[in-house]
Amino acid sequence: MRILVTGAAGFVGVAVCKALSESGHRVTAVTRSPTATPLAAERIEVLGDLTGATDWSGVLAGIDAVVHLAGRAHVLNDDAHAAERLYRQANVEVLEGLARGAVGSGVKRLVFASSIKVNGEETFGAPFSAEAPPAPEDAYGKSKLEAEQRLREIAGNAMAPQTLEWVILRPPLMYGPGVRGNMARLFAIADRGWPVPFRSIRNARDLLYVGSFADLIVRAVSAPAAANRVFLARDGEPLSTPDLFRRIAGALDKRPILLPCPVSVLELIGGLTGRSAEVRRLTGNLEIDDDATRSLLAWEPRMSASAAMKLTAEGYRSRR
List Cα–Cα distances, 151 to 84, 132, 290, in angstroms: 19, 19, 22
Instruction: Put residue 162 in one of left, alpha, beta given phi > 0 → left and psi -120 to 50 → alpha.
Output: beta
* pLDDT number for residue 73: 81
Q: Cβ distance 220 to 68 under 8 Å?
A: no
pLDDT at site 159:
46
Could you confirm whether 87 is annotated as catalytic? Answer: no
What H or E segment, with its residue span, contains residue 97? helix 94-105
**Cβ-contact 245, 258 below 8 angstroms:** yes
Task: Look at residue 156 in the predicted model and tell me its pLDDT.
Answer: 80
Q: What pLDDT score was predicted for residue 185?
A: 93
Residue 77: per-residue pLDDT: 58
- Determine how many CB atoms are found less than 10 A away from the CB of residue 284: 17
Q: Per-10-residue mean pLDDT for the chain, 320 residues long?
A: 96 96 96 88 93 93 96 69 86 95 94 97 94 94 96 74 88 94 93 96 96 97 96 94 96 96 93 88 95 96 91 89
pLDDT for 161: 56
**Residues composing the chain:** 320
Please state, in angstroms and rounded to a whole number, the distance separating the CA atoms of residues 90 and 70. 8
Cα three-residue angle 150-43-40, rounded to 5 degrees? 90
- pLDDT of amino acid 163: 82
Give the whole-angstrom CA distance, residue 313 versus residue 305. Answer: 12
Rounded distance, CA 244 to CA 316, Å? 16
Q: What is the pLDDT of residue 37?
A: 81
**Which whole-number Å values give the CA distances from 188 to 66, 191, 195, 243, 306, in the listed order?**
35, 5, 12, 16, 18
* DSSP letters spanning 8-20: TTSHHHHHHHHHH
b/e per residue 6-27 (b: at least 16 CB within 10 A): bbbbbbbbbbbbbbbbebebbb
The residue from 140, 175, 209, 316 that is catalytic is 140
Task: Give residue 38's pLDDT.
Answer: 85
Nearest to 38 by CA among 215, 171, 177: 177
Predicted local confidence at residue 245, as pLDDT = 97
